[in-house]
Amino acid sequence: MSTHPLLGTALVTGATSGLGAEFARRLAAEGRNLVLVARDAERLEAAAAELRERYLIEVWVLAADLATDDGCRLVSDRLSGRDDPIETLINNAGVGLYEPFGSVPLSRDEALLDLNVRAVQRLSHAAINAMTATGRGEIINISSVSAFLPRGAAVSYAASKAWVTAFTEGLALTAMGSGVTVGVICPGFTRTEFHARAQVDLSHLPAWMWLDAGQVVAEGLADIRGGQVVSVPTRRYRAMILLSRLLPRPLLYRVMASR
């Protein structure tokens, strides 16, 4: 584990909305300069201007589509750069896909993997090399409670998040003793733009299942910086995962078939 607090620049992907915007605010409140990444350049500039004015920090923006080679290269180059090294990487950008597998062109599932898996792998690769060279830094990847559950309604999404969790645990072992902290945050349903973008209606979910982005980010950061590798924010979601592990698998499949 590195000696917190880190003071250098932090890079957040998917920083214009939801959890990413909340990470950016938290890191700005720590006095960290920021690099914000997303596709929508106008929205990035607006977010950067707000953070500069409110927290009196420097904020740069990188408009990049992380589902593409060019977008990943642009951000990886920033992570590898020796001037003003990035000390915190938050791999947060991600998309959901809730159409039954096979009912939409495979390219939709492939694009999901490009962003949720390949971009995380590529940016982590650039960051771990740069950070271990200086002996300080943190890489925090955003997974989901879906990583722990078989999900009939979100097949590729759940599998992508299982990959993120397993990948991060392995990377955390690799990084032990290097001065670099590596961890993964696995949120439950959180009020953001995520489900509207995925065009899924979750209005039937009870209110207690919905989390607030501020709560997820505060708990997640505290867990990872406190030495946990895998953080599942809130007691109710930790209990749900424990229960899913205790249930006989065939029963769990019945419960999760349409979820």
The first and second tokens of residue 209, run together, are: 């299942």
Q: What angle do CA 96, 59, 168 make, to 5 degrees?
A: 40
Query: CA of 1: how far to CAs of 12, 67, 179, 227, in Å?
Result: 20, 30, 6, 7
Toward ligand NAP, which CB reaches closer, 78 or 136? 78
CB of 87 to ligand NAP, least distance (A): 21
Catalytic residue among 55, 98, 157, 237: 157
Task: State which residue, 228 or 234, has the beta carbon closest to ligand NAP.
Answer: 234
> DSSP state, 6?
P
Where are the extended beta strands (E) located within 83-132?
A: 86-91
Report the interface residues with ligand NAP, using CB under 6 A: 13-20, 38-40, 43, 65-67, 92-95, 115, 142, 144, 187, 189-190, 192-194, 197
Least separation in angstroms between CB 63 and ligand NAP = 8
Give least dist CB 65 to ligand NAP, A: 5
- Give me the least distance between CB of 189 and ligand NAP, in Å please: 4
| DSSP percent split of the chain into helix, strand, coil, nearest 5 | 50, 15, 35
CB of 138 to ligand NAP, least distance (A): 17
Shortest distance in whole angstroms from residue 136 CB to ligand NAP? 25
Nearer of residues 70 and 83 to ligand NAP, judged by Cβ? 70
User: Which residues in the chain belong to E strands, given as ranges?
Assistant: 9-13, 34-38, 59-63, 86-91, 137-142, 180-185, 230-231
DSSP letter string, 143-182: --GGGGS--TTSHHHHHHHHHHHHHHHHHHHHHTTTTEEE
Bridge partners, 141 (sequence order)? 91, 184
Half-sphere exposure for 82 (CA within 13 Å, toward CB): 1
The CA distance from 160 to 187, in Å, is 14
Q: Which is nearer to ligand NAP, 15 or 139 (CB)?
A: 15
- Closer residue to ligand NAP in complex, CB, 55/157: 157
Q: Is 157 a catalytic residue?
A: yes
Kindly tell me which of 1 and 93 has the beta carbon lying closer to ligand NAP: 93
d(CA 82, CA 110): 33
Give the C-alpha separation, 214 to 13, whole Å. Answer: 17
Residues with active-site annotation: 157
